[in-house]
Amino acid sequence: MKWALLVLALLLAVEPAAAHESGKIDRTVALAQSKAAIGRALPALTFTDVKGKPFRLAGLKGKPVLVSMVYTGCTDICPLIIAHLYKAVEVAQDALGKNTFTTLTIGFDVAHDTPERMQSFARARGVDLPNWYFLSADQDSIDALSSTTGFTFMPAAGGFGHMAQVTLVDQKGVIAAQVFGGNFSPQAIVEPLKNVLAGNAQGGSILSQITQRIRLFCTVYNPNTGRYYVNYSIFIALAIGLASLGAVATWLVREFRRPDGSA
């Protein structure tokens, strides 16, 4: 009888551990899958926003997009990702403009991440920034999105095991970069955003495009304030350099035009 009770106790202790182990993600494989997603184009998927209206990815082309996938029942890593993403998005909007990019947070727990739950999740974390959408989806859409972005998740005891990942998509709908971890700095988001915006500066006159590129290039991070600012000293140095080159060019032209032997 004692042996039977001992075996039963061991079985009860091992079963939950095995269930937890089944949701454990191989970090090396997951990272490799995520990095391999760079260069892929997002499929033309349709989600549902917190008001129950269709939200189409195809309508976002023309601006970069930050994509994060969470589940509303998560009590640790998902809230942490959103907290750090909030700070990064706030800094990015302040430095680059509120309408220069879009942020999407999509619930991958199809059975529970309803529009109502996604709205409550956003409110509980104080997300009130413009152009940030919390979305629900069906299983086919979640599978297609996670496969394309290289986002790994699987059922585990009490919820899901999943990657801590933010995906940056460029203006053409192509994955440009991945940001990993739940604890990242604003720079981890803003710098790749700047690169994408600078590399695809379009619209307006040539002068406006050049001005936009210079502004992006000269926007630098101040670790003391945790904010970005436009470093006008770069403009001043550039102006001085151009003025110096102009003076040298003018002198050379005058020298070439002088008659031979003149003083």
* Per-residue model confidence (pLDDT) at position 215: 62
Please tell me the distance from the alpha carbon of residue 203 to that of residue 226, in angstroms, as a whole number. Answer: 30
Is a pLDDT exceeding 50 seen at residue 256?
Answer: yes
Band (pLDDT 50/70/90 cuts) for residue 10 is: very low
Backbone angles phi, psi at 132, to 5 degrees: -120, 120
Strand partners, 159: 156
Decide if 164 contacts 181 (C-beta within 8 A).
yes
The model's confidence at residue 246, banded by pLDDT at 50, 70 and 90, is confident
Residue 252: pLDDT band (50, 70, 90) is confident
* For residues 76-100, average pLDDT: 94
- pTM of the entire predicted model: 0.75
Q: Could you give the C-alpha distances from 150 to 74, 79, 86, 115, in angstroms and in order?
A: 20, 21, 22, 24
Band of residue 253 on the pLDDT scale cut at 50, 70, 90 = confident
Please provide the size of the chain in residues: 263
| 7 has pLDDT over 60 | no
Reported as a pLDDT band with limits 50, 70 and 90, residue 257 is confident
114-135 residue pLDDT tens: 999 999 999 999 999 999 999 9
pLDDT at 260: 61
Mean pLDDT in the chain? 82
pLDDT exceeds cutoff 60 at 234: no
Residue 232 — pLDDT band, cuts 50, 70, 90? low
Q: Which of 4-8, 11-15, 222-226 has the highest mean pLDDT?
A: 222-226
Domain regions of the chain by residue span:
25-184
CATH 3.40.30.10 corresponds to the domain 25-184: yes
Q: In what order do the strands lie in the sheet with 175-180?
A: 132-135, 102-107, 65-70, 165-169, 175-180
Q: Which residue has the tokens 């706030």?
A: 90
What was the pLDDT predicted at 53?
A: 98
